[in-house]
Structure formats: structure tokens, C-alpha cells
Amino acid sequence: MSDELPEPRQRAVPSGRVSRLGQFGRLAGGVAGGMLAEGARRLAAGERPRISDMLLTPGNIGRLADRLSHLRGAAMKLGQMISMDAGDFLPLELAQVMARLRDNAHHMPPQQLQQVLAAQWGKDWRTRFRRFEPRPIAAASIGQVHRAITHDGRSLAIKVQYPGIRESIDADVDNVATLLRVSGLLPKELDVAPLLAEAKRQLADEADYGREGAQMTLFGKLLADNPNVIVPQLDEEFTTTSVLAMSFVEGQPIESLVAAPQATRDAVMTTLIMLVLRELFEFGVMQTDPNFANYRFQAETGRLVLLDFGAARTVGGETARAYRRLLQAGLDEDRAGVREAAVAAGFLGTGAVDGHGERVNRMIDIVLGEMHRPGPFDFGDRRFVGGLRELGTTIAADKAAWHVPPADILFVQRKISGTALLAARLEARVDVRALARDALAPRAILGVK
């Protein structure tokens, strides 16, 4: 949390239901206007434009990113989820612009910040600190972070939730889903109602800072035996449901390691992948938000700083068993076993297997081939992704193959995919096979068979 925002980006957060709905209305109107302008331009050039061509213009995507950044909350959080892609499967323009949402929110102007903290701590709250930095050191989808020093010398990071965020979650999720359906990015035939309900529940958990503080304390205990990671300590004196106070821990952005020695990048990603495996097979609880801003690195100690536990959630025994079966089949180079485990877990729908069995087998073969290359897995070598994309796109064009995996699987996979994306960004090389075999050993799974 040591990095300051690059420039002041003050903008009051729309906190009322009507004002937030108005923002979505202006967004829809702006996108529609952009589509008409782009359609007219293409027609004048003698083209027959498709809806997707008119929708996914830099201007329209920019409008979407800017408006979601202004709204913050669930709207921006969903945009962040969409942006967790290496540009491998999302349209390139969408991936590039939506990536702004990972850590690029406006922050509250001083008057709004004062109102929020006065409501949480009382009007004389400033007297409780020796120093409170008014300018945030970080701003994200649900809150912004300030540095403070108490009278007894405690250095704290104070996360302050934007007003109205908790109350707007359900409406924001519904509004974003409506925008995606109207745009055609979300197929009408796909039933995402269960996923949207789970997203609302998860976002409500993330907006409960008291809960996040308890999860942070839990992870501190679970990782007390790991000298390679640091978890901030909860400061209960200043924590409420809308304010989270913790010890301030120095660290640099994880992305800054792109210029670090190969051995450093490899060690950091080994630690993170081991953490994911322990969460899945040992702890039974996982921090499911892989946003890069949730990690910091201490160059002087070589330790990884873990931040933001709002998305921590229980990993059910059946989910852990599903991943165990899938991973074991992969280690055994058992194509049929991988396919069967993927269908049983809900990764794949029967429509995809029945209608595109050969393509599914080829995708599995590509993954197994990469998994069993000699030596450590080179996350920076993404030549195999093109083949997966081509096969996956063909399958996705068949409506009968459309399938939404169970919510628990999606949240866990979000963490796994985001971790792999970070490893690719750092071009790390990790002996994933050895880590997986160790994680599946009986002593590591604590009764999960």
C-alpha cells in the first residue's frame, strides 16, 4: 500500500439509488450514440457493420470504463472481473481498456471523505490521530486507503468505504447484466441468474469490513508458519463495518518485479502458487480476488505482502475434491480422466463434449502437453494459447455448447486464472508439477479425498 496515486482524481461517488441509475442511463445513451456514429462512418465507407463492430469501439469501451470507474462499487468490481484476462480470449480493445479498472478509481473529494468518517468515528475523529493523510494512497472499487499515525505511534492503513456502495450492490449487478445483454456481449440464451445471485452475495461480503477484518486475522494465523509472506494485523480500535484499519506494511507493486532477476520472479510466483494450493486443499478457505493490487513485494526481505481479504470465501469439500480429481488426472496424463473430471465438476457442459468431443480432446491434449514439458513451467511462453483460443471459439459459436459452471468453481477458477495471469506478466518459471504432487499428498489434504 505504499504507492501514492499518480495524480488527484477527485470525484464524488453517486450514493443514491436514483443518481446511480441515472449514471447507467447516461452510459447506455452514450454507448448508443457511439454505435450510431460508428455505424454511420462504416456505412459511408461502403462497409456493412456488425453490431459487435459498432459496440466494441475504443470510444464506447472508454465510456464504459470511465463510467464504471466513477460509479465504483459492484459496477466497477464486475468490470474488474471481466478485465482479468491476458488479452487471450477477450477482444483486444476490451481487454486493454477494461484493464484500467483493476486499480484506477477516482477518489472521494475531502468533503465527502469527512462526512463518511464523521459518521463512522464521530465529528472529532481527527483528534484521535497524530497524523492522517487526506490524500489516499490507493483507490479501488469499494473503498480508498489512507495512511495514518496514532498518538501512540501505530502506523496504520485505513480503508474507507465509499458511501452507498453496500446499498447499491443488487441494483448495480442487475444494471451491468442488463447492459451486457442489450449489447449482445451476454447471450440471451445463457441462464446467469444463479451466478448473478452469487455475485451479489459475494459483493455484499466484500462490503462488510468487519467480516474482512476477521478474514484477515484468520489468514494471518493460517500463514503464521510461512516466512515468505506477510499479512497486516487488524486494528480493532478504528475498524467498523465501513472502515477497516490495519497495520501499514511497506511494499512495492507486484508488477514492478517485471524487471527483477529471474530467480526473484520465480520465487515470488512459487510462493503464490503454493498459497493457492494450500487454500484449496488445506485451508478450506480462499481469497478469490487475484487483482494485482492485492499483492506487494518487499525487496529488502524478499517477502510477499498479502492485502484485501474481502473476497475470502469457504471452499467446499466437493469443490476441493473436484479439483483434486482433475489435477490428479492431469498429472497422470489421463485425457479421458481429465474430460470426465471436468464434466463432473461443471467446468464443461455435456453439450460441448457431445457436440465437439474431438475439439475438447484436442484442447485437453494441448494443456497436458504444456503441463508435461520437461523442466519448470514457463508462464511467459504463451504460444499454446492461440490453439486453445481457436478451438474454444469454435465451440462457443454453438449455442448448444453454452454452459455456466457452478459459482463455487467460478470463484476458485478466478483465483487460479488470475494467479496464472500474474505469472505470465512476470514471465516466471515454476515447477508446477512438483508443487501439485506435493499438494495432493495425503498429508496435505486433511481428509479431502
**Among residues of the chain, what percentage have pLDDT more than 70?**
72
pTM of the predicted structure, to 2 decimals? 0.79
- Identify any residues that bridge with 306 across adjacent strands, giving them in sequence order: 295
- Selection from 274, 262, 213 nearest residue 239 by Cα: 213
Flag whether pLDDT at 49 surpasses 60.
no
CA distances from 302 to 228, 259, 262, 269, 308 (A): 7, 15, 13, 12, 20
In the numeric block, which cell numbers belong to residue 38?
Answer: 460508428
Flag whether pLDDT at 244 surpasses 70.
yes
Contact residues for 367 (Cβ-Cβ < 8 A; gap 6+): 330, 338, 388
pLDDT category at 163 given cuts 50, 70, 90 is confident
Cβ pair 305, 297 in contact under 8 A: yes
- Selection from 392, 441, 218 nearest residue 310 by Cα: 218
Nearest-angstrom CA–CA distance, 153 and 132:
12
DSSP annotation of 73? H
Which helix H or strand E contains 259, and what residues bound it? none
Flag whether pLDDT at 45 surpasses 60.
no
pLDDT at 178: 72
pLDDT at 6: 44
- Length of the chain (residues): 449
Q: Which of 103, 235, 266, 289 is catalytic?
A: 289
Does residue 266 carry a catalytic annotation? no
Q: What is the pLDDT of residues 84-103, one digit of tens each?
A: 444 444 455 445 545 555 44
Q: Which residue has the cell 483465483?
A: 415
Q: What is the pLDDT of residues 208-241, one digit of tens each?
A: 999 999 999 999 999 999 999 999 999 999 999 8
Flag whether pLDDT at 177 surpasses 60.
yes
- Residue 312's SS3 state is strand
pLDDT at 60: 53
CA distances from 446 to 13, 89, 209, 441 (A): 45, 36, 30, 10
Phi-psi category of 163—alpha, beta or left, where left has phi over 0 and alpha has psi -120 to 50? beta
In sign, the C-alpha dihedral spanning 74, 76, 77, 83 is: positive
Flag whether pLDDT at 36 surpasses 50.
no
